[in-house]
Structure 1
Amino acid sequence: MCRWMAYTGAPLLVEDLLYVPENSLVVQSLHARLGVEPTNGDGFGVGWYGEQHEPGLYRSIEPAWNDRNLRELASHLSSHLVLAHVRASTGTPVQQTNCHPFRHGRWMWVHNGAIAGFRDAKRELTLAVDPALFPDIEGSTDSELFFFLALTFGLEEDPPAAVARAVGLIEDVGRRHGTQFPLQMTVATTDGETLWAFRYSSEGRSRSLFHSTDVSTLRAQYPSNPVLHRLSDDARVVVSEPLGGLRGAWREVPEGTCVRIGHGREELYPFAPIALEPVQ
């Protein structure tokens, strides 16, 4: 399916996230170790927060390992919060508007997974999007539609509840169309200040997801590692699969979990769909 990573902390060169680690996201685009497919070459995207109100985006249908502009950008751009994604299409076209991250205002979103039976459920799910938001949908992926459903259900006010309601709707619609396990997801979303990540699937067998441990502890354990000395104590990374093999550097996010990261702290909460009340 896909691989993604999210970074929050003191400003860091994007190169240190996408290229320097042993199992960097660019490496994963060609040789993913824990993904369904080892190759994620159907485009990529990087989103970051800087001086402007809205985050910046660079998306391309080129494979990440083959894009010289990405390498150039990454060696000059630094940010305190970065989302990056390498895509393996589940059937929708390889086009720039289908590359993650997706953006709406200050919010960004990346997704690994799929809405099963999307062709049958697409019309009903699309009609559930707030009419005021609908014109902003640019692509044709289930991932972008999922994002706009979460926005419809209040992502900007209460991200965990909004995502839970969107998942509840997707599962309800999917099962009414005969799909036993409608959703597979790991998701990251952010407003540029707080990062939320989710691991869930209807089947209870979600794609891999990990978060980094305390940087100061790792720095004491590995004093000669240069990357750790470029990270601030409040730096945190959430990834589809670990970026390297340092012992103790990564913890697996449990099944059915929401991770909230802000101001150098991560908090984990149980996550479950919220069923929508039927319209009277």
Structure 2
Amino acid sequence: MCRWLAYSGTPLLLEKILYEPKHSLIDQSLHSRLGVETTNGDGFGIGWYAPDTGVDTPAIMRDVGPAWNNRNLREISQHVVSPLLFAHIRASTGTAVQQTNCHPFRRGRWMWMHNGAISGFHQMRRQLSMAVDPTLYLDIEGTTDSETMFFLALTYGLEDDPPGAVARMVGTVERIGHEHGVAAPMQMTVAVTDGSTVWAFRYASEGTARTLFYSTRVESLRALHPDAAFLQEVSDDTRLVVSEPLGDLPGAWNEVPNDSYGLVRGSTGELHPFAPQPL
């Protein structure tokens, strides 16, 4: 399926996040260890915020080629600094390989990315699309289940209550899926942000959801690994949420439990249970 990461913390060159780790997201585009597919080469995207510019909407770069040999991505990553980054490498689950189907998706100051799939999406696509608020529907550019999920969450109040909106979105997908005879419609890890807070969700209608990890607090890692130079470069509130760990540093990564979501806002990091909310 896909791999993604969300970074929040000390402003860093994107290169340090995307390329320098031992098992970076760029490495995962060719050599994923925990994904359904080893190779994720059906496009990529990055989205980042630049608060010093006074612009509160994120910049987005997306392309249909693989991330591992994209010269523009490498060039940008060596010159752009950001305190909040979303990055995604895609393995299509059936929809077209085109730029508008690459994550992250954006509307206003909000960004969204997804790993997983709506099982039976093509059967229920029209019904799910009809559930999107008509004032939002015209902003849908692509054909993926992931973007439909985003716009359903926006319809159900994402801007005011992200956990509740995502729960109502999943409840709608499951209800419509069951109407079409799909036993387990939803498989997802999702990240969404408004530019200051990151929410990350892990859920599957049945069985185990796709992998998701969050980084240990920096102050704890410094105590475990006082000689790790890069830990001196970042503040205590720096956190990563990733589809799979970026390296093998002992104690650095913690698995997000199934049926849960996490919240990262500055120095605050929380885990909460997650369950769909039928409408």
Give SS of 2:135's match: coil
List per-residue Cα deviations over 1:126-153 (Å, max 9, x = no partner): 0000000001000000000000000000
Distance 1:53 1:216 in 2: 29
The answer (yes or no) to whether the contact 1:16–1:227 under 8 Å persists in 2 is no
User: Percentage identity across aligned positions?
Assistant: 62
Q: How far 1:234 moved relative to its partner?
A: 0.5
Distance 1:231 1:240 in 2: 21
Distance 2:267 2:59 in 1: 23
1:138 equivalenced with 2:155 (yes/no): no
List per-residue Cα deviations over 1:136-185 (Å, max 9, x = no partner): 00000000000000000000000000000000000000011011100100
Give SS of 2:8's match: strand
Aligned counterparts, 1:68-83, within 5 A: 68-83=71-86
List per-residue Cα deviations over 1:173-216 (Å, max 9, x = no partner): 00110111001000000000000000000013100000001112
Distance 2:227 2:75 in 1: 27
Partner amino acid, structure 1, of 2:88: H
Distance 1:272 1:220 in 2: 36
Give the aligned partner of residue 2 of structure 1: 2
The 4+ residue runs of structure 1 with deviation greater than 3 A are none
Distance 1:20 1:229 in 2: 16
Give the aligned partner of residue 35 of structure 1: 35
The answer (yes or no) to whether the contact 2:41–2:91 under 8 Å persists in 1 is yes
Q: How far 1:232 moved relative to its partner?
A: 1.3
1:61 equivalenced with 2:64 (yes/no): yes
CA RMSD of the aligned region, Å? 0.7
Give the aligned partner of residue 150 of structure 2: 147
Give the aligned partner of residue 126 of structure 1: 129
List per-residue Cα deviations over 1:9-51 (Å, max 9, x = no partner): 1211111110000110000010000000000000000000012
Give SS of 1:91's match: coil
Give the aligned partner of residue 169 of structure 2: 166
Give the aligned partner of residue 207 of structure 2: 204
Give SS of 1:259's match: strand
Give the aligned partner of residue 248 of structure 1: 251
Distance 2:233 2:259 in 1: 32
Distance 2:208 2:15 in 1: 32
Q: How far 1:223 moved relative to its partner?
A: 2.6
> What TM-score comes out, normalization by structure 2 length?
0.98
> What TM-score comes out, normalization by structure 1 length?
0.97
Give the aligned partner of residue 23 of structure 1: 23
Q: Which moved more, 1:90-99 or 1:215-224?
A: 215-224
Give the aligned partner of residue 48 of structure 1: 48
Q: How far 1:264 moved relative to its partner?
A: 1.6
Distance 2:233 2:136 in 1: 40
Aligned residue pairs: how many? Answer: 276
Alignment gaps of 5+ in structure 1: none
Distance 1:127 1:25 in 2: 35
Distance 2:34 2:174 in 1: 25
Q: How far 1:263 moved relative to its partner?
A: 1.4
1:178 equivalenced with 2:144 (yes/no): no
List per-residue Cα deviations over 1:40-91 (Å, max 9, x = no partner): 0000000000122210001011100010110110011111100000000000
List per-residue Cα deviations over 1:75-112 (Å, max 9, x = no partner): 11111100000000000000000000000000000000
Give the aligned partner of residue 85 of structure 1: 88
Distance 1:231 1:29 in 2: 26
The answer (yes or no) to whether the contact 2:56–2:195 under 8 Å persists in 1 is no
Aligned counterparts, 1:181-260, within 5 A: 181-260=184-263
The answer (yes or no) to whether the contact 1:210–1:242 under 8 Å persists in 2 is yes
Distance 2:114 2:229 in 1: 30
Distance 1:64 1:122 in 2: 29
Give SS of 1:136's match: coil
Distance 2:126 2:138 in 1: 15
